[in-house]
Amino acid sequence: MNFLSENISIALQAIKANKLRAIITMLIISIGIMALVGILSAIDAIKNGINNNFTEMGANTFTIRNSDINIRVGKKGRKAKVYAPIKFAEALRFKQNFDYPVLTSISTAATFSGRLKYKNTKTNPNIQVFGTDENYLATAGYELEEGRTFTADETESGSAITILGKEVATSLMKDKKSLLNEFVKIGANKYKVIGILKTKGNGAGFGGDKICLIPIINARQYYGKPDMSFTINVLCKNNFLLNLFLFEAQGEFRKIRKLTNKEEDDFDVVKSDNLANLLIGNLKKVTLTATIIGLITLLGAAIGLMNIMLVSVTERTREIGIRKALGATPKIIKNQFLIESIVICLIGGAFGILLGIGIGNLISFGLNTGFFIPWFWIISGFVICVFVGLVSGFIPAHRASKLDPIESLRFE
């Protein structure tokens, strides 16, 4: 222990004696570590953002719809399959027949380019209007900030009522404190506002607050089209039974679609976290590329450190000769320069890790996922610093240990 502390003390004295060179070396290491830790922390922040967005959709939820969730990335990715539309009668029959301890809702996309108007204020024509039933808020992971949801009677009668997403309500309110019980126009029709949703965030481009809900029968009446397809959301009250209910739902809907045992499913059943896993899976190539870029940067930093350490050995040849003359063995000299290289790497790496954490959290705040500390990359960063210090310092340390003491004392 005394040997290690003595070598660290000598290393710090050498750093103080050559401040400019040490600072430049540490800066090189900092940039390398910052690139590696920063990029990988930023990717972790993106993953957290994706997980948070889809966790809000309901961790115990699965969905039956007429298209799968494959995402095409680049030319090699395949297109998502699209099956025959799920008819309202089929969705309604499933909801009535699926007699398990679950909450089932039916919804449909009325339009993705809706425009709302309140008095003289209009929204942009990019509001997502969905036809839903009384259970939709629970199965989709929405919460009410004020007001109430639809009743079963209102859903069945197609009442002219609506629930607004937070961003939609805010853009229409202007100086008014609340739009609750006010009338807004959706397209050419008037609807009474009975609820305002809590903000869900628009992270990852899913537009969770640019939404407007109307009763599903009303959506069929005013936005119906021949190929209109309906989505079934099922919320399981017991997470442990989720997969069991998913397979039961698959079997039930196969009966409704009148599929034989030899026929494949002409619909898709997916858990709420499947899309998140798919998106995160598509980040693997990005992660690999980012890691390679960070390691190349770090390799440049390691070569720079090695060159500077070689210069240090040359400049301190006389010092090495004196130490050997006083009894220092080649092993002691070698360890001294190795430890000095590691100390420089650790100091520079510490700054690089702090900068990398900052970059990762800037991305995290941009995605509204909050502050996080990437412990894995912090620990990995310090391990990499020790490794780089050993690799970069080995040749200079070996050269220093092999110097002849007599020749070294004569060195000018």
pTM over 0.75: no
Cβ contact 400:80 at 8 Å? no
Total structural domains within the chain: 2
**Mean pLDDT to the nearest integer, 147-173:** 93
Are residues 313 and 176 located together in one domain of the fold?
A: no
Are residues 303 and 345 located together in one domain of the fold?
A: yes
89-to-67, 85, 86, 135, 393 alpha-carbon distances in Å: 18, 11, 8, 17, 74
**Residue range 276-317, pLDDT digits in tens:** 666 666 667 777 777 787 778 778 777 877 887 787 777 777
**Residue range 321-369, pLDDT digits in tens:** 887 777 778 888 887 778 888 888 888 888 888 888 888 778 777 766 6
76 is a domain residue:
no
Q: What is the DSSP string of 350-376?
A: HHHHHHHHHHHHHHHHHTT------HH
Are residues 349 and 389 located together in one domain of the fold?
A: yes
8-to-158, 266, 340, 405 alpha-carbon distances in Å: 78, 69, 7, 23
In the listed set 198, 216, 236, which residue is the last one of a domain according to the structure? Answer: 236
Write out the E strands in 78-188: 102-114, 116-118, 121-122, 127-132, 144-147, 161-164, 183-186
Are residues 300 and 377 located together in one domain of the fold?
A: yes
Could you say which DSSP state residue 80 is in? Answer: P
243 is a domain residue:
no
Are residues 351 and 405 located together in one domain of the fold?
A: yes
**Residue range 202-219, pLDDT digits in tens:** 544 444 788 999 999 999
150 is a domain residue:
yes
Residue type, 255: K
Distance CA 126, CA 207 (A): 10
Distance CA 160, CA 181 (A): 12
Distance CA 199, CA 188 (A): 27
Cβ contact 311:18 at 8 Å? no
227 is a domain residue:
yes
User: Where in the sequence is the domain holding 292, given as residue range(s)?
Assistant: 2-53+283-410
| Dihedral angle sign, alpha carbons of residues 12, 16, 22, 26 | positive
Are residues 22 and 120 located together in one domain of the fold?
A: no
Are residues 47 and 138 located together in one domain of the fold?
A: no
Cβ contact 344:389 at 8 Å? yes
Residue type, 144: L
Are residues 40 and 89 located together in one domain of the fold?
A: no
Task: Give the torsion through C-alpha atoms of 80, 364, 56, 169, to 10 deg.
Answer: -100
Instruction: With residue 74 as reference, give the H or E element that holds it.
Output: none
Residue from 203, 274, 210 nearest 61 by CA? 274
**Mean pLDDT to the nearest integer, 55-63:** 69
Is the model's pLDDT at 127 over the cut of 90? yes
In the listed set 204, 236, 268, which residue is the last one of a domain according to the structure? Answer: 236
